[in-house]
Amino acid sequence: MERHGIPPTEKMRGLKCRECGTMYPLEPMNVCSLCFGPLEVDYDYEALRGRVTRQSIAAGPKNLWRYRDLLPIGEVTDPDFGVGFTPLFKAHRLGERLGLSNLYIKNDTANPTWSFKDRVVSVAVAKAIEFGFDTVACASTGNLGNAVAAQAARRGLKCFIFMPADLELPKIVGTLIFRPTLVAVKGNYDAVNRLCAEVSATMNWGFVNINLRSYYSEGSKTLGFEVVEQLGWRVPDHIIVPMASGSLLTKVWKSLKEMERLGLIGEVPTKVHGAQAAGCSPIVTAFKEKAEFVRPVKPNTIVKSLAIGNPADGIYAVRAIRESGGLAEAVTDEEVVDGIKTLAETEGLFTETAGGVTIATVKKLVRQKVIGPDDIVVALITGCGFKTQEVLTDRLEEPMIVEPRLTAFQEQLALRVIS
């Protein structure tokens, strides 16, 4: 397999402060020392133009590394783990139910630890190894912890995962199985994150969403690249993105603008819509209030994966939504469960609560006529329902319990309405 892409020195100029533009070297750091703004990888698009083409991408492997020239890494050192290039499929039955003729589902539950976080972690762990860290760590609402622990195991790195202590059991087991040190913090994600910022300053670790954040977050661009490539290089009219820190949405928008800039696609018409649970919707509130900053909230929702009350990239998500002409919407926990069930019943896909937020938001935007019946719509399903089964307790039809006799089955069947 071809592993060599464009060398880092030719494609990246350094890290650049998003606020004041100060440049920094490509090191494990994420905050500007002058203004405390976040740092972002600065690519040399002139150097990339003409070298990154539809053909060069198509020649790459069928995983996220096909976009390696637009990622902040040197050589691809773990090409076969199977992250990315997840299915994009047309949702005929869900589309029919919602009155949409061109609805597509991007199924990112098909990643190794069943969420899109495998993408960001692939880039972060590659970077941690490049920087020579022997330990990786993260603050997580669940999915990130699963992904970091898995890839640390695979790469033989020591690993510390910090999570709120009250997370769903499958997210805890799905971390512990990889034998990291799991630190269950008695507090919500925002408390976990604050603790991690302090820990990170005292340890020489690769903290994927702290000192490696500028690199890690770039991995989310691959979702946007894939959607467009899988649509045959067509650009959708709408993409609906669930938001926690707001990073995924910001990077999906960035991916579209990068493709435009490199001439891979024409002008981007896409409206990027942000979705949150009403019980934790600081980004939606900031968008609706046309605010210039995001006011932190205390989360209270069943959607634990999105329960970040003080979102690190919130204001950048607001700006990306505005720039794209999209909207931000919040949906209730009831609507989330309904979204999970609707997707499962119509498309055979079991999403976690974050995907329920996405589907409920699509429904809402259709009702509001923001999305038209023939628009090309892509809904991002970013995590798997087997991790959040507890929200469905008492919300599914009871099984038919029968003695192992045909007559017993027939008696029970007669009592049921089968739809």
Ligand X SMILES: Cc1ncc(COP(=O)(O)O)c(C=O)c1O
Give the residue from 8, 5, 39 showing the smallest Cα distance to 217: 39
Q: How far is the CB of 142 from ligand X (least distance, A)?
A: 6
Report in angstroms the alpha-carbon separations of 371 from 11, 148, 227, 236, 320. Answer: 37, 36, 18, 12, 18
Q: Residue 17: name its binding partner from Zn ion, ligand X, none (Cβ under 5 to 8 Å by kind).
A: Zn ion
Any bridge partners for residue 88, and if so which? 106
The residue (of 47 and 392) whose beta carbon lies closer to ligand X is 392
The count of chain residues that interact with ligand X, using the rule CB under 6 A, is 17
Residue type present at position 57 = I
Binding status of residue 20 toward Zn ion by CB under 5 A: yes
Residue 329 · residue 365 · CB < 8 Å = yes
Q: Residue 247: name its binding partner from Zn ion, ligand X, none (Cβ under 5 to 8 Å by kind).
A: ligand X
d(Cα 324, Cα 5) in Å, to the nearest integer?
Answer: 31
Binding status of residue 242 toward ligand X by CB under 6 A: yes
Residue 210's CB: how many other CB atoms inside 10 A? 23
Q: Residue 19: name its binding partner from ligand X, Zn ion, none (Cβ under 5 to 8 Å by kind).
A: Zn ion
Binding status of residue 354 toward ligand X by CB under 6 A: yes
The residue (of 244 and 278) whose beta carbon lies closer to ligand X is 244
Binding status of residue 109 toward ligand X by CB under 6 A: no
Residue 106 · residue 88 · CB < 8 Å = yes
Q: 385: which DSSP letter?
A: G
Residue 148 · residue 219 · CB < 8 Å = no
Indicate the helix (H) or strand (E) that contains 253. Answer: helix 247-261
265-287 in b/e form (b: 16+ CB < 10 A) is beebebbbbbbbbbbbbbbbbbb
Interactions with Zn ion, residue window 91-120 (CB under 5 A)? none
Q: Residue 323: name its binding partner from Zn ion, ligand X, none (Cβ under 5 to 8 Å by kind).
A: none
The residue (of 32 and 185) whose beta carbon lies closer to Zn ion is 32
Stretch that binds Zn ion, among 13-21, 55-63, 157-165, 173-181 (CB under 5 A): 13-21
The residue (of 98 and 240) whose beta carbon lies closer to ligand X is 240
Stretch that binds ligand X, among 145-153, 193-201, 237-245, 259-267 (CB under 6 A): 237-245
Q: 384: which DSSP letter?
A: B
Binding status of residue 247 toward ligand X by CB under 6 A: yes
Q: How far is the CB of 170 from Zn ion (least distance, A)?
A: 40
Strand order in the sheet with 271-277: 88-90, 103-107, 377-381, 238-242, 271-277, 328-331
The residue (of 293 and 348) whose beta carbon lies closer to Zn ion is 293
Q: Residue 294: name its binding partner from ligand X, Zn ion, none (Cβ under 5 to 8 Å by kind).
A: none
Interactions with Zn ion, residue window 26-65 (CB under 5 A)? 32, 34-35, 37
The residue (of 244 and 264) whose beta carbon lies closer to ligand X is 244
Q: How far is the CB of 357 from ligand X (least distance, A)?
A: 8
List residues near ligand X by CB under 6 A. Answer: 115, 141, 143-144, 242-248, 305-306, 352, 354, 382-383
